[in-house]
Chain A
């Protein structure tokens, strides 16, 4: 192959690797101009947009660009787009919500967000609850698992002084310290285990039956069916949301325990009493950080579909 004869007039850079010399060919003109253009663009950009950092904030830029304002705009846009659905949800009859698939889906999604923001601190991110905080996934409900009942509970809370409409206000399990002797407490606890179908000391349980009927049955029912079941025996099919009969006494003849079903925990419960409190969430009772009626309905729909709703 021949030499690059026509390139002899171009100087080399003086660099040489294994005899290969580097020509000092100029860049194409457009390339250089693009390079200059990027510099001009860069300067203009830092003037137009927030760029130079200061001690507390950066230069604002003459275009007034702000990501926070953009996010707020987007939030406002979403709120505006959802406004019709939200107002529909606010006035919906919860009993018929399931008949409106679109609204129901919207409510469940909105409710999930409300739940994550307000409820997970006690009931857990998976709604499984914790000791003293009811599991919302199971089929055991102290205050009712129908969607309207859930909404009522969210609205008014449980044993919460902010809402005088609170079901079971004052319906706190008393302490039996001094009322029952230690041995009697053990016997009653054993009987409760028997009611729940768990292994226990049969003799102690037999001793505890009469004590249970005398001291506990007025709230928990003679068979330990709980106040909710007791109330529902008397209610009409349309049922009442808040009943004077309701004390929030949990059902005892099942496998679900709010505080624990082992003997030591049961004894502790009987000795000291229990009285879990849940805040009233409607903004009427919590002006600063309460929920709107639509949000209450949404979170009720969400909790209801978790799998334990009745």
Chain B
């Protein structure tokens, strides 16, 4: 990104980035977050949860065949997909909140692209050594050693990528069964195809493309500009303290010199290959590794930490004048972040509320309006309804159908003796219901009669109702 390119060329070759190893609190934080996020990703499908005899006992299961999503005790049906929409809205608002308060912390710490790239670079360092060794290897001719190191690295990458693609498919079916099937070659071709594609993309994104995904493919760097302002804590270089930079030994009494000794540590550790001292840049994912590197150097030369640091841009004049920056909490708690937090909470509370008032049985009634009514030979008027009964219990339930009594309508269910309908566990039953009004009764002669369908879950006495209309024979 930093080297100039001749203007007569349409393209610029990618400059490889060889991040140097770094130690420090942000690096440690990134290790911890990597452990947690990868741990969740790889282990979540293996958590067991009793789902009855029909379904795999899996706590997190995306059951595409039956259009169900299971998350521990929560079961989402297709018509309840607003829960997923709500979670996506919360995720978006959460991103806004964190970005406006602390810049691109999502990018720097938890984005899968960052986490896997970090992991791939870790492997690369194990195999090929730290930055200087890798740069030498990059420039060296292809010989036996280089081939051996490259193959070792790629093999390790492929294993990680395979494990990544492999973990994905476990979310969609019973993980232990699928694991055995995958190994014995009995799994569905879709499982293998999915694994293959995800293995390839993981290898390419994490191993080859790396920072280019963030710079060229990801829209978030562009969006962040709207989310950040001068109060946002972002990574910056205190140039009023560092400049003019120069080698430490050149420092002589009387010569004005800043704290920056131009050691390039911040540049060498940067996984995006940028120089943070050039100011705010679109490429910066605010991962904090340059802070760790610089703080390390500052400690060695006996200067205070924080030459590169999380800072707010509107503190600059204050700090330049020698004053203390405003406290962190003042940057974080301001109307903008409070508004985001409020919106986020409203959606969250709404979802939790919706989750608790959600019934376990549901009914939809679709009147058949072709024709609107049927005259039977004794003058009885019949209306037909398609009734959908949804049973969200994990067991088969007996549903009792009834009509409210005051309209004098009779109900019968096609194919069922009486009005009790068994509905299998976690499924929907479509039944055809006939509603009849006796000859010359009020409902039979009225144009329309309002009435209510009731359904009762006989085991829990839970009830649901739907209001609908009975069409009578129009009397002229």
Contact = CB atoms under 8 A, between A and B. Distances in A.
Contact of A1 (B3, B239, B374, B378): B239
A55 to B, nearest CB: 40
A26 B3 CA distance: 11
Nearest to B316: A1
Interface residues of B, number: 37
Nearest to B242: A2
Contacts of B4: 6-7, 9-10
B461 interface: no
Given A4-B278, A255-B378, A307 B11 contact: no
A10 B275 CA distance: 17
B270 to A, nearest CB: 14
A6 to B, nearest CB: 5
30 contacts: A1-B236, A1-B239, A1-B279, A2-B237, A2-B243, A2-B279, A6-B4, A6-B278, A7-B4, A10-B5, A25-B12, A26-B5, A26-B10, A27-B11, A27-B12, A28-B212, A29-B14, A30-B212, A33-B11, A126-B368, A135-B371, A135-B374, A137-B384, A139-B376, A251-B377, A254-B379, A255-B379, A256-B376, A307-B382, A307-B384
Summarize B's interface: helix, strand, loop or mixed: loop
A307 B434 contact: yes
Contacts of A128: 370-371, 374
A198 to B, nearest CB: 9
A174 interface: no
A33 B11 CA distance: 9
Contacts of B275: 6
A72 interface: no
Interface of B: 2-5, 7, 9-14, 212, 216, 236-237, 239, 243, 275, 277-280, 368, 370-371, 374-379, 382, 384, 414, 432, 434, 439
Summarize A's interface: helix, strand, loop or mixed: loop
Contacts of B376: 138-140, 255-256
A211 to B, nearest CB: 24
A147 to B, nearest CB: 15
A140 B378 CA distance: 9
A1 B384 contact: no
A29 B275 CA distance: 22
Nearest to B3: A6
Interface in A8-40: 9-11, 24-33
A61 interface: no
A256 B414 contact: no
Nearest to A126: B370
Contacts of B278: 1-6
Nearest to B2: A6
Nearest to B212: A28
Given A9-B4, A29-B13, A140-B377, 5 more contacts: A10-B4, A26-B9, A28-B216, A255-B439, A307-B414
